[in-house]
Structure formats: structure tokens, C-alpha cells
């Protein structure tokens, strides 16, 4: 006996003076549970075989069986039992003899982590009773036959989520006999949007099917005048993805006892999705060089990223906002928290959260890139997660903004949210977490300020409607866009909008009043800027129009600056400078065309083919300046996908991807990716070169596994051309 004692002593971790047991923040670690727990000295004649003994436990864990069907977990590609909390499930126990309720006593034990404790929810003993009470753990016998009994087990709607180990314990006069550790009876417990007592309860079945069970989504990108969309494979049910998502919470060192709370889970996940300051899942890169990694635009879904991180434990390179949001959405849906990916067009990245973006102009009216620190993202993607907010006053539950893209630190880490959408709309930005930052992303004003030689600042123009002018997500049950701007803000210029702004300012959002600066806009001349639909590799024209509403003749010294930008609005290079003098006749309009040649932009073009034009015009007679900016996204060619032969689950079929190179140059080192949840795992192929005007054809053989409507998604990536996508809906027949 003394030998075994000493080895146990060695295994114990050194205790510190602050806590009695070490932190319990790994779902993966286990403790050893004794099979025989003696009450004292065991008499010599004791034979455990004389007592009730468990021979086998049957978990009803196949996808077609009752548990996974009733708990909506039949799509998970995982052989173990997966159930949702607050809802009953069944197991069958086989004993060595018929069970006698009068004399036999047994109970179940669910354990999690290395230091299970009942008061922390990581050790759950369940006695067998006569009734199941909703809202608490319990078990009752629903069927007895020969040596077996069938139990219905109810879990608590607030219990922690993750992977539990199951033991059956039998009481004997001399001690407790337990079943052996058996990983086949491990049980995953997830959030339950179908259960009214769960914090993530969602009452609409169509919405639950979309926001929890749909494993494909759509990312809206481009810009507000030229909205583009692409599909993204969330793949939350694919093999090992559930384990990878649980690992993320271990990585973030979230105490096991806190894992029943969706607010805590979202907060730590928004930090661990990005690699800044915690070696999280995805390393962001916005500089157009993606050595030793995958270009953000080449990913077609989340599964490859999560599985690579789960196996390597190192950040996966590289991501930008829609990649962070896509992976975050997979994480949330996988654990059972309803979630959707949202795009905010013209999103303010305001470095000092004062609700104003400052663009500084020099004497000539050109933007001074040295002084201008704020930027307008063409679009920015984040997520919304659905939950109650018992930590806030009534009325702020529902959709919460969570954002895994590293923009600013929050409580010392790169994370953002959960911030109540309702609180943002009404300006109640005092409520945690990060509401002022999100409020600024959708509500800032743009100030064009001229720096005079003597150091004074003159505000030439204030644009109050440019930022956050459209906020969208994918519609429920379809692929179209749903406008949710009204969830975030009242109509521009309405009384409610003013009131919400005043409320936000009262709660500490900094907003400089106009009185601090001299501002007298030029009102009798209006300027507009339009661009022709432009295709990558072609010339296109832009038009500047002036409307002189006064009775005076004016001349306007006009300056156009064309910049190649990242989608974050940060300039890489100025490729076009053009200035001219415009004569403006009284009470009339005049238009001026400028041609943009492909030779001017092709050499420096970035992957999202985004341009940003600043137009400034100085009215010489009055010295006033007109200013505006506009983002333009080129049309990028697409991939074509088709299938050959019949599409039947379990039978081999062919998928063909085609691409024609439209550029006036040869594409080199081209990577193609193709994936489709339930049809095929991601396949990659490298092609050396595609000459101009030639067509590449790639044929793949695969065996679709799941019947039903599925989607194939493909991407093409090379240094000269990125953001090339194709997709195809396919109907897989039952065999």
C-alpha cells in the first residue's frame, strides 16, 4: 500500500498559498477514478462479483438513433454521444443480473477535467428518481427488461458545455464499485437554442436551422455601391471540428466552471480567434505579402484552418476580417450558440474613438497621408451571437456583436464584444463590452480639415452619412442579402438618431462639437463623382460633375488622386494624379471625364482590386474647398464549376473546375482550392502557369457522402490575381 501512496504524492502538483487546487481549465485532462472505493477495512470473504455489476452501457449515439435525432446533433461527424443541455436523453445499462430496486443502489457520475468538484459543475452525481424535473439534473427508469434498464436523463439548462466522462457507481456494504474508464461512453453536452431555459434560446425554427444548423454561409464584400458576395463553408459538423472548438477554450484558459456562460465564451473566443497576444488561431496580414502561408482570399472555409491549428497548436497564416469572422461563426454554431456573419460597409476604424475620422488636406486640397491616421474600411465583417444578457438591464439581450479581427485592445487584449446591438442603436454605450468602439464603427462622421500655414485647422467639409451606410447579413433560408442597418441605427437625420447620439455622448463617447472649429461650407456649388463599371485589366472612365446653383461664374481648380488601397482603406500607392481647371457657368451643370488606363494600375494592384479616389476642388473666387472620396472595386473573373455524371451519395462522380485568364499577362504559381461539406474534403492543386486568354481545366473524382442540397466552393489564388471564386449548388440523390 505504501508504494502506491508515494507515487500518488509525486503526481500532485505543487500547491500555492492562494488556492486549494490548481486551476481547472482543460477539458482534455483527466483524473483517475478508483474502481473500488472502500469505506474501511474490507472483510476477507468480500467478492465484488456477488453484487450488482455493470456489464455494458449502450448510449444510443448513432446519427439515426433517438438521442442525436431529438437533439439535432445527427449531422456531427463524430461517433460519440452529443446532446444539448436542458433536454432529456436515453441510455441503457446492462447488469450481471436483474436490477432489484428494493435492495440495489446505483447512480451515474459525469466528470470533466482533472479536478472535478460538485460545486463547480465539473462533478455531477445523478441519483435515479421517479420524476424528471425540468431545469435540473436527474434520471428515471423508463423501461426494465431481463438484466437491463433504460434510463431517461435530464441535464441542467445552465450546465457547462464540453466533453464529460461517464461512470456508473454501485453501492455495496463495504464500498463503491465503479465502471472502468471507457471513452466510448464520453458525452458531449452543447448549448440548446431549442430549450426555453437556455441562455441561447431562439424561438423561431427557421432561424435555428439557419443560425445553428446551416454549415454554409455567404460573405458580402466589395463596397456599398458594388456589393459582391462569396460562399464560405463553416463545416461545424465535420470530423474533429467539435474537438478543435473545445480546444480553443482550453487554449484561452477559460476555467471549466465558466463554460456554461455564452457571454464568457464569446469574450474569450474573440481573443483566441486572432493570434495577437495569445498565439491564437489565425495570424492576420494586411500587407499583400503572404510568404510561408495561404493568402486570406484563397481560403474557402473554416475547417482547414481549425484542424491545422488543432494539430499544430501554432497560428495559421493568414487571415483578414472575413476569415476571422468565418472561423468565429463555425466555433459559435458548433457549440450551439446561434450566430451570423455581418458586413458593415464603409466601416470606421477610428483610432481615438471620438466619433470623427479626420482626413487632413494640404494647401492644394490634396490629402496629407502623413497626418491622416484614421481609415475607412470598404467593409468590415464581424459576428453576431444570440443570447440573453442577465448582466445588463432588461431589453439588451438578443443579438450581440463579437469581433475576432484584431483592431484595438479591450481590457489589455485584442478582442471585442459581446456588445448588445440594441444598446448600440439607442446609444447606451455604457454597457459592456466594447460598445463605444462598435458605435464608432457604424456612426462616425468624416471631417475634411485643411491645415493652414499658421497652424490653424479649417474644417472644409463634414460628411455625416458615409460611415456605416449599409449593414447586411445573409437572409434566413436563402442566399440573398438581408439589410439589418435599422437594427444598428435610426434613420439618418431623424429625432431618434439625434437622441441616440446625445445619449452616447452623455455616456462618454467623445464627440467634438462643431463650435470648436471654424466651418463654413460652400453651399452654392455641388460636386459629384461617378465611375463606370470597371473590369480587371481594362481601361475605364470616371466622371466629375459640378452643379453651380448660384448666379456667379466660378473656376474650380480640381485635383483627382487615384490610389490603390487595401480594403481597409489604407493606401499602398498613388497611381493616378490629374488636375485641371473647370469653368462653372451660372445655374448649370458641367461634367468632366478622366480615363483610367489598365497600364496605370495593373503593376501595383492588390488582391481585392480596390481603388480609392479622392476628389478635391478649390473654388478660386471664394477659396472654399469641395471634397469627396469614393471606393471602387473592379470586376474580377470567376471560376466555373460543373459536374459530370449522376450525383448519388456513396457513388463516385466527377467535378470540373474551369478558368480563363483574362489578363494581358501570364499567371504563374496558381493555386486552386475546392471544397464542399458532405461532398468532398478540401483539395488543393498547384498549376505552374496559365498564359493569357488560355483556359485551365481541372477534373476531380469524389464520392459524395450526404444526400440533399449541397454547395461546392472553389477559389483561385496567385500573386497577380486573387479573390477569384466560383460556386455551384448540387443536389445529391439518396442511393
CB-facing half-sphere around the CA of 672: CA atoms within 13 A: 25
Any bridge partners for residue 109, and if so which?
A: 125, 167
Q: Is the pLDDT of residue 412 over 80?
A: no
440-470 tens-digit pLDDT: 899 888 888 888 778 788 888 888 888 999 9
Whole-angstrom Cα distance, residue 508 to residue 534?
43
For all residues of the chain together, what is the average pLDDT? 90
pLDDT recorded at residue 509: 67
Whole-angstrom Cα distance, residue 577 to residue 593?
14
348-379 tens-digit pLDDT: 987 666 778 888 888 777 788 788 888 889 99
Closest of 187, 332, 252, 236 to residue 26, by C-alpha: 252
Active site residue 380: yes
Q: CA torsion sign, 220 to 221 to 226 to 231?
A: negative
Q: Worst-scoring range by mean pLDDT, 80-89, 161-170, 272-281, 325-334?
A: 272-281
pLDDT recorded at residue 352: 67
Cell triple for 637: 473573373
Alpha helices per DSSP H over 34-129: 66-70
Whole-angstrom Cα distance, residue 440 to residue 472?
17
Choosing from 159, 195, 266, 321, which is the catalytic residue?
321
28-41 tens-digit pLDDT: 999 999 998 988 88
CB-facing half-sphere around the CA of 108: CA atoms within 13 A: 26
Cβ 341 vs Cβ 221: under 8 Å: no
Cβ 508 vs Cβ 430: under 8 Å: yes
pLDDT recorded at residue 459: 87
Q: How many CB atoms lie under 10 A from the CB of residue 116?
A: 21
pLDDT recorded at residue 571: 76
Whole-angstrom Cα distance, residue 402 to residue 269?
9
Cα of 550 vs its chain's centroid, Å: 51
Q: Is the pLDDT of residue 188 over 80?
A: yes
Where does the pLDDT of residue 18 fall: very low under 50, low under 70, confident under 90, or very high at 90 and above? low
Strands 316-319 and 282-284: parallel
Contacts 24+ apart (CB under 8 A), 645-649: 646/733, 647/704, 647/730, 647/731, 647/732, 647/733, 648/704, 648/732, 648/733, 648/734, 648/735, 649/704, 649/705, 649/706, 649/707, 649/732, 649/733, 649/734, 649/735
Q: Is the pLDDT of residue 17 over 80?
A: no
Where does the pLDDT of residue 513 fall: very low under 50, low under 70, confident under 90, or very high at 90 and above? low
CB-facing half-sphere around the CA of 173: CA atoms within 13 A: 7
pLDDT recorded at residue 641: 97
Q: Is the pLDDT of residue 5 over 80?
A: no
Q: Worst-scoring range by mean pLDDT, 178-187, 313-322, 355-364?
A: 355-364
Strands 123-129 and 106-111: antiparallel
Closest of 423, 407, 431 to residue 489, by C-alpha: 423
Active site residue 321: yes
Cell triple for 327: 472561423
- Once rounded to an integer, what is the mean pLDDT over residues 435-440? 90
- Once rounded to an integer, what is the mean pLDDT over residues 665-687? 92
Q: Is 492 annotated as ligand-binding?
A: yes
- Once rounded to an integer, what is the mean pLDDT over residues 119-137? 94
Q: Is the pLDDT of residue 472 over 60?
A: yes
- Once rounded to an integer, what is the mean pLDDT over residues 148-168? 98
Q: Is the pLDDT of residue 275 over 70?
A: yes
In sequence order, what are the residues at sequence separation of 6 or more whose Cβ sits closer than 8 angstroms to the Cβ of residue 372?
358, 359, 360
Residue 621 in 3-state DSSP? coil
CB crowding 638-657: b at 16 or more within 10 Å, else e? ebebebeeebebeeebebeb
Cβ 373 vs Cβ 351: under 8 Å: yes
The more confident residue out of 95 and 627 is 95
- Once rounded to an integer, what is the mean pLDDT over residues 676-704? 92
Exposed/middle/buried for residue 114 (C-beta within 10 Å: 0-12, 13-18, 19+) = buried
Any bridge partners for residue 483, and if so which?
A: 472
Q: What percent of the chain has pLDDT over 90?
A: 65
634-656 tens-digit pLDDT: 888 899 999 998 999 999 999 99
pLDDT recorded at residue 6: 38
Choosing from 72, 221, 349, 380, which is the catalytic residue?
380
pLDDT recorded at residue 8: 41
Where does the pLDDT of residue 511 fall: very low under 50, low under 70, confident under 90, or very high at 90 and above? low
pLDDT recorded at residue 1: 37
- Once rounded to an integer, what is the mean pLDDT over residues 284-309? 92
Cβ 636 vs Cβ 230: under 8 Å: no
In sequence order, what are the residues at sequence separation of 6 or more whose Cβ sits closer than 8 angstroms to the Cβ of residue 351?
373, 374
Cβ 566 vs Cβ 528: under 8 Å: no
Whole-angstrom Cα distance, residue 411 to residue 416?
10
Q: What is this structure's pTM?
A: 0.90
Where does the pLDDT of residue 304 fall: very low under 50, low under 70, confident under 90, or very high at 90 and above? very high
Cell triple for 289: 505579402
* H/E segment holding residue 429: none
Q: Is 278 annotated as ligand-binding?
A: no
- Once rounded to an integer, what is the mean pLDDT over residues 386-404? 94
Whole-angstrom Cα distance, residue 575 to residue 544?
18
Residue 25 in 3-state DSSP? coil
What is the C-alpha radius of gyration for the chain, rounded to an integer number of angstroms? Answer: 31
Q: Is 497 annotated as ligand-binding?
A: yes
CB-facing half-sphere around the CA of 187: CA atoms within 13 A: 25
Cα of 576 vs its chain's centroid, Å: 36
In sequence order, what are the residues at sequence separation of 6 or more whose Cβ sits closer than 8 angstroms to the Cβ of residue 318?
282, 283, 284, 285, 290, 293, 294, 295, 296
Q: Is the pLDDT of residue 680 over 60?
A: yes
Active site residue 350: no
DSSP 8-class letter at 467: T
pLDDT recorded at residue 500: 87
Closest of 193, 225, 228 to residue 209, by C-alpha: 193
pLDDT recorded at residue 14: 52
Q: How many CB atoms lie under 10 A from the CB of residue 93?
A: 20
For 203-214, give the DSSP string: --HHHHIIIII-
Exposed/middle/buried for residue 81 (C-beta within 10 Å: 0-12, 13-18, 19+) = buried
Q: Is the pLDDT of residue 3 over 50?
A: no
Whole-angstrom Cα distance, residue 685 to residue 696?
12
In sequence order, what are the residues at sequence separation of 6 or more whose Cβ sits closer than 8 angstroms to the Cβ of residue 417?
266, 267, 270, 382, 400, 401, 402, 403, 433, 434, 438
Whole-angstrom Cα distance, residue 576 to residue 584?
24
Greatest alpha-carbon span in the chain: 115
Asked, as a colleague might, if the bond just before 72 is cis with ω within 30 of 0, I would say no
The dihedral region occupied by 645, where left means phi > 0, alpha psi between -120 and 50, and beta the remainder, is left
Closest of 709, 716, 707, 694 to residue 641, by C-alpha: 716
588-626 tens-digit pLDDT: 999 999 999 988 888 777 667 788 888 888 888 988 888
Whole-angstrom Cα distance, residue 708 to residue 730?
8
Cβ 208 vs Cβ 192: under 8 Å: no
Whole-angstrom Cα distance, residue 544 to residue 532?
12
pLDDT recorded at residue 677: 85
Choosing from 243, 374, 403, 434, which is the catalytic residue?
403
Amino acid at each position: 500500500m505504501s508504494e502506491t501512496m508515494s507515487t500518488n504524492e509525486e503526481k500532485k502538483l505543487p500547491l500555492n498559498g492562494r488556492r486549494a487546487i490548481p486551476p481547472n481549465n482543460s477539458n482534455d485532462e483527466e483524473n483517475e477514478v478508483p474502481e473500488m472505493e472502500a469505506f474501511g477495512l474490507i472483510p476477507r470473504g468480500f467478492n465484488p462479483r456477488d453484487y450488482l455489476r455493470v456489464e455494458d452501457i449502450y448510449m444510443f449515439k448513432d446519427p439515426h438513433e433517438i438521442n442525436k435525432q431529438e437533439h439535432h446533433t445527427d449531422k456531427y461527424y463524430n461517433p460519440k454521444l452529443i446532446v444539448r443541455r436542458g433536454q432529456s436523453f436515453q441510455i441503457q445499462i446492462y447488469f450481471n443480473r436483474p436490477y432489484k430496486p428494493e435492495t440495489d443502489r446505483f447512480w451515474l457520475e459525469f466528470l470533466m477535467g482533472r479536478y472535478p468538484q460538485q460545486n463547480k459543475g465539473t462533478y455531477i452525481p445523478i441519483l435515479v428518481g421517479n420524476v424528471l424535473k425540468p431545469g435540473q439534473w436527474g434520471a428515471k427508469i423508463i423501461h426494465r427488461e431481463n438484466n437491463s434498464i433504460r434510463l431517461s436523463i435530464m441535464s441542467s439548462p445552465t450546465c457547462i458545455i464540453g466533453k464529460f466522462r461517464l461512470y456508473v457507481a454501485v453501492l455495496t456494504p463495504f464500498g463503491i464499485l465503479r465502471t472502468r474508464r471507457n471513452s466510448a461512453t464520453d458525452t458531449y453536452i452543447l448549448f440548446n437554442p431549442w430549450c426555453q431555459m437556455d441562455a441561447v434560446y431562439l424561438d423561431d425554427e427557421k432561424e435555428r436551422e439557419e443560425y445553428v444548423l446551416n454549415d454554409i454561409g455567404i460573405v458580402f464584400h466589395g463596397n456599398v455601391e458594388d456589393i459582391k458576395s462569396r460562399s464560405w463553408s463553416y463545416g461545424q459538423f465535420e470530423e474533429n471540428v467539435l474537438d478543435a472548438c473545445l480546444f480553443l477554450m482550453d487554449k484561452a484558459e477559460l476555467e471549466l466552471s465558466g463554460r456554461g456562460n455564452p457571454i464568457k465564451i464569446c469574450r474569450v473566443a474573440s481573443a483566441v480567434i486572432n493570434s495577437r497576444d495569445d498565439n491564437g488561431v489565425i495570424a492576420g496580414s494586411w500587407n499583400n505579402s503572404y510568404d510561408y502561408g495561404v493568402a486570406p482570399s484563397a481560403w474557402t472555409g473554416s475547417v482547414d484552418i481549425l484542424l491545422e491549428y488543432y494539430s499544430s497548436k501554432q497560428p495559421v497564416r493568414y487571415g483578414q476580417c472575413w476569415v476571422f469572422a468565418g472561423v468565429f461563426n463555425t466555433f459559435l454554431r458548433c457549440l450551439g450558440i446561434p450566430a451570423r456573419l455581418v458586413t458593415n460597409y464603409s466601416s470606421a476604424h477610428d483610432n481615438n474613438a471620438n466619433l470623427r475620422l479626420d482626413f487632413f488636406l494640404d494647401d492644394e486640397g490634396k490629402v496629407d497621408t502623413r497626418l491622416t491616421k484614421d481609415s475607412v474600411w470598404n467593409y468590415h465583417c464581424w459576428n453576431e451571437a444570440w443570447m440573453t444578457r442577465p448582466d445588463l438591464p432588461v431589453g439588451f439581450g438578443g443579438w450581440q456583436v463579437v469581433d475576432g479581427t484584431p483592431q484595438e485592445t479591450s481590457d489589455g487584449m485584442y478582442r471585442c464584444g459581446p456588445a448588445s446591438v440594441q444598446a448600440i442603436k439607442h446609444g447606451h454605450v455604457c454597457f459592456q463590452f466594447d460598445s463605444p468602439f462598435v458605435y464608432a464603427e457604424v456612426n462616425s462622421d468624416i471631417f475634411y480639415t485643411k491645415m493652414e500655414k499658421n497652424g490653424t485647422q479649417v474644417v472644409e467639409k463634414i460628411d455625416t452619412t458615409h460611415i456605416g451606410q449599409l449593414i447586411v447579413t445573409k437572409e434566413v433560408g436563402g442566399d440573398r442579402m438581408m439589410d439589418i442597418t435599422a437594427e444598428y441605427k435610426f434613420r439618418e437625420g431623424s429625432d431618434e438618431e439625434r437622441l441616440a447620439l446625445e445619449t452616447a455622448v452623455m455616456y462618454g463617447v467623445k464627440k467634438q462639437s462643431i463650435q470648436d472649429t471654424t466651418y463654413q461650407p460652400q453651399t452654392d456649388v455641388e460636386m459629384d463623382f461617378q465611375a463606370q463599371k470597371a473590369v480587371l485589366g481594362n481601361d475605364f472612365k470616371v466622371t466629375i460633375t459640378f452643379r453651380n446653383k448660384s448666379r456667379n461664374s466660378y473656376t474650380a481648380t480640381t485635383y483627382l488622386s487615384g490610389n490603390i488601397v487595401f480594403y481597409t482603406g489604407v493606401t499602398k500607392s498613388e497611381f493616378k494624379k490629374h488636375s485641371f481647371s473647370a469653368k462653372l457657368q451660372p445655374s448649370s451643370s458641367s461634367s468632366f471625364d478622366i480615363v483610367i488606363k489598365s497600364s496605370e494600375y495593373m503593376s501595383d494592384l492588390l488582391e481585392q482590386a480596390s481603388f480609392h479616389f479622392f476628389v478635391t476642388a478649390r473654388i478660386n473666387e471664394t477659396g472654399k474647398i469641395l471634397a469627396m472620396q469614393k471606393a471602387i472595386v473592379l470586376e474580377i473573373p470567376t471560376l466555373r464549376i460543373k459536374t459530370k455524371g449522376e450525383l448519388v451519395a456513396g457513388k463516385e462522380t466527377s467535378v470540373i473546375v474551369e478558368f480563363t485568364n483574362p489578363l494581358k499577362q501570364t499567371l504563374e504559381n496558381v493555386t486552386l482550392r475546392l471544397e464542399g461539406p458532405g461532398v468532398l474534403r478540401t483539395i488543393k492543386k498547384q498549376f505552374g502557369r496559365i498564359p493569357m486568354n488560355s483556359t485551365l481545366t481541372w477534373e476531380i473524382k469524389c464520392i459524395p457522402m450526404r444526400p440533399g442540397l449541397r454547395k461546392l466552393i472553389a477559389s483561385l489564388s496567385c500573386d497577380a490575381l486573387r479573390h477569384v471564386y466560383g460556386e455551384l449548388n448540387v443536389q445529391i440523390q439518396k442511393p
